Amino acid sequence: MTVKEELAMIKEGQQTLAGLDLEKKKVYDEIVEKIQPEPRLESTMWDYIFNGVQCYIYDIEDLLKNRKKSLDSEE
């Protein structure tokens, strides 16, 4: 394989990954639109959904539960 072919392969990989990032962002934006999270929850969701920080699911669960309690008390 020539350097030119290898470089083309690397560029193609970069473009493919950039497209995947756009798809991930689209999925994230749809979730945010439906949930309408507070800033802290939105930030944590971003790290969990987009960056794949798996341990944040526990933080998200707590934030959702606390938000639910807060909404219940306002009624």
Q: What is the pLDDT of residues 11-36, one digit of tens each?
A: 999 999 999 989 999 999 999 999 99
CA atoms within 13 A on the CB side of 51: 11
Indicate left, alpha or beta for 38 from its phi (over 0: left) and psi (-120 to 50: alpha): beta
Domain that holds residue 68: 3-74
Tally of domains within the chain: 1
CA–CA dist 35, 66 (Å, integer): 14
Q: What distance lies between CA 12 and its chain's CA centroid? A: 23
Q: What is the pTM of this model?
A: 0.72
Report the pLDDT value the prediction gives residue 54, as an integer from 0 to 100: 92
- pLDDT tier for residue 51 given thresholds of 50, 70 and 90: confident
